[in-house]
Structure 1
């Protein structure tokens, strides 16, 4: 019992430290922004009540259980003026938990602590994370999507592990509908019962998400029809952009000035890693390499099929299109799974070529470390949540308790009304 308590205490400390490590990647001005759906959808609906079942309220065709859970807690325990900071920290806490669970589950794949740490560092230190997906609950689902295959590959060795893996997979699936892309993994080692908890969680969650989509279909998209080759070209551009360029500006300028050359050069180490893993490594490493590549392209393709737009029609881009092209939230997960190839390569080299393995891990650590401080953050322009609250407080003087005042969210113009805050919540 004492050993278990010590391990639990260490886990809590590690998660707490990683939460702050993630939070400090964001400029402090961003801490005071409420991003998009976090405002009117999650905070607004959490304040309107509805009971525990409200966390299963559909939005745009599927469920967002974890963001709604976090919003429900924040509106009950955090002062209104600090809602933005509360959401930012809660989101970074989830990222820290995802990183810890990645490290924990990876013990089923390797005995190397260094390799496990490298995999766990990816969600925390991803170069484009702070641009849009880090520090807000609206994009928590991307991190839970990254976590899903790690959960599915971890056998449960005890009752606590059964509960942990089932609940983690269930909550992830109930938050990210694209988790269905990992359903084929359910068939892997299907007779071994120790793999069933996480897979049961995925199947239950995916089933509920599919049922929700049929009952409450997503609003029809008038998206730009995509050339299928744009999906392929976009995958190469976005993976290279995240892994080696780090920002939309440098990616766009490199492609604009030098054509496909920078993307081709960026993919040389990726292709070399895949080739080594497929041709020179053991069966388990070959299968993992195929899984990472398939997950990367599969998630990217699913995102573009569900959200087509002219900004993704890469084969028809003009020079001005390349100049203003950006790395969106859809770029993050495909790049994360490609990054996962390099710790896998280090693990494959570990037994026979220890120095080469250490070199790969060292280079990987440098690449992640230099991207800690972001070059672009979408929310730096505000608006400030706390300033909006102070304005709304002043506007509520003399108003009835049931009257509301709007508090704007980022990005500017995303919502005309923002969060409609009841004056009753704004009074001292």
Structure 2
């Protein structure tokens, strides 16, 4: 039997009726409970047609995400478009402007490599210095929105309704944890990238482009953050349970990237020297931080839970409220007996706890940016627990399968309110202490032109009191 060129390849139905590709890429199903785990974690999917309408919607989604992100940062100039924040300038732009691309990309920072942020810095420094702030912010915002789009696409097999997929994708852009520190910032793209990689590992790629892109994406993330180590067990599980080429390549890519990171660190090639950092491996302290910070910020946002609260009882009440929301989701999932995505919820929860525990144990503190990946995973777990059995009928109030769509609508409403309440949150240094980039360019251009022998001038991407965000050099040859 032959198939015409360009015709769809016939597919045979899986046991649940989902089409499974024929040929070499058809997965070999494990028997017994491994097979059930495989179906729950890595369900088969069928290709979604790429239409002009879907392309337009994806472009609109990314465009809205970029505009939404760029409007969040205040500053002495035009906010995100006229400031360069922290390591983005002091490390990445500095190294890209003063080193060869190879030397810059192989220079570790804080104990590990940052492949993707350094790639973006190389792109930015191809432009005139006056455009660096705009380029840096745009690349960060586009990357963030792009990661959200990846999550939306990758979550399709688990969450078939567009609203559910939007609920797990939109928080990548909304980021209501420490938004003043991580929005429009390439150095912190590792955190949403970890979350996107979680979803890419769960997704079964059916198109050739996806089968190539998924391992490449896994390698880029692993070469950009050592925290990819926390996703290696999931990648291995995917490779063992599905036995498909893309899954095996993703596991190899993560192992390779993390191996490079750890080898460099353990052999002394990358030192983690941050002033005031003292690791804390006390498990009780770790649990306390998760209970009192991670879960409350996930459901209430930074503006309400991390701000200074005068009355201790009010603070405790907010913590209890956040936990009540999470526990109510679990209770509803049990009571309704509508086949919630328990395995997805468990996988997201375990990774939320694991990533959080590893980060703060090594740091001995809980910087706000460390809350983001676990926040996103906890949102996923909650959506999985409240996933309605059907989106085709209206709410029903009869029996344990009642409530219909009410719980998921209530969650969506809560997260929307929290997102808008945290749209702008002033950072103690970024909002007030980062000088205008355009003013620095004007002043430094005049200095370079006044002294033909001057080799470089000083720019700042943060307060002078912070060593890691201090002065960095830009060659005068780029300004004359």
1:331 is aligned, of 359, 371, 380, to 371
Match of 2:250 in 1: 198
Tell me: CA distance 1:264–1:249, structure 2 relative to 1, closer, same or farther (3 Å). Answer: closer
After superposition, what is the alpha-carbon deviation per residue over 1:141-163, rounded to whole angstroms, capped at 9, x for unaligned?
A: 11111112101101111211111
* Native 8 Å contact 1:346 1:356 kept in 2: no
d(CA) in 2 for partners of 1:252, 1:127 = 17
Match of 1:16 in 2: 63
Is 1:230 aligned to residue 303 of structure 2? Answer: no
TM-score using structure 1 length: 0.86
Alignment of 1:5-404 (within 5 A): 6=52, 7-8=54-55, 10-27=57-74, 28-52=78-102, 54-77=104-127, 79-189=128-238, 190-192=240-242, 193=244, 195-215=247-267, 216-220=269-273, 223-224=277-278, 226=280, 227-239=282-294, 240-247=296-303, 251-253=307-309, 256-258=312-314, 260-277=316-333, 285-309=341-365, 328-350=368-390, 353=402, 354-371=404-421, 373-378=423-428, 379-381=430-432, 382-400=434-452, 403-404=455-456
**Shift of the alpha carbon at 1:258?**
3.5
Tell me: CA distance 1:4–1:112, structure 2 relative to 1, closer, same or farther (3 Å). Answer: closer
Tell me: CA distance 1:342–1:202, structure 2 relative to 1, closer, same or farther (3 Å). Answer: same
Q: Which moved more, 1:66-75 or 1:7-16?
A: 7-16
RMSD between aligned residues: 2.7
* Native 8 Å contact 1:401 1:422 kept in 2: no
* Native 8 Å contact 1:57 1:63 kept in 2: yes
Which runs of 5 or more structure 1 residues have no equivalent in the other structure? Answer: 313-326
* Native 8 Å contact 2:297 2:305 kept in 1: no
Tell me: CA distance 1:219–1:253, structure 2 relative to 1, closer, same or farther (3 Å). Answer: same
Greater fraction helix: 1
d(CA) in 1 for partners of 2:265, 2:304 = 33
Tell me: CA distance 1:15–1:255, structure 2 relative to 1, closer, same or farther (3 Å). Answer: same
TM-score using structure 2 length: 0.77
**Shift of the alpha carbon at 1:223?**
3.2
* Native 8 Å contact 1:102 1:120 kept in 2: yes
Which runs of 5 or more structure 2 residues have no equivalent in the other structure? Answer: 1-5, 7-48, 392-400
Q: Which moved more, 1:348-357 or 1:164-173?
A: 348-357
* Native 8 Å contact 1:105 1:151 kept in 2: yes
d(CA) in 2 for partners of 1:53, 1:406 = 21
* Native 8 Å contact 1:25 1:372 kept in 2: no
After superposition, what is the alpha-carbon deviation per residue over 1:112-161, rounded to whole angstroms, capped at 9, x for unaligned?
A: 11100111111111213522111111111111111121011011112111
d(CA) in 2 for partners of 1:208, 1:224 = 24
Q: Which moved more, 1:383-392 or 1:136-145?
A: 383-392
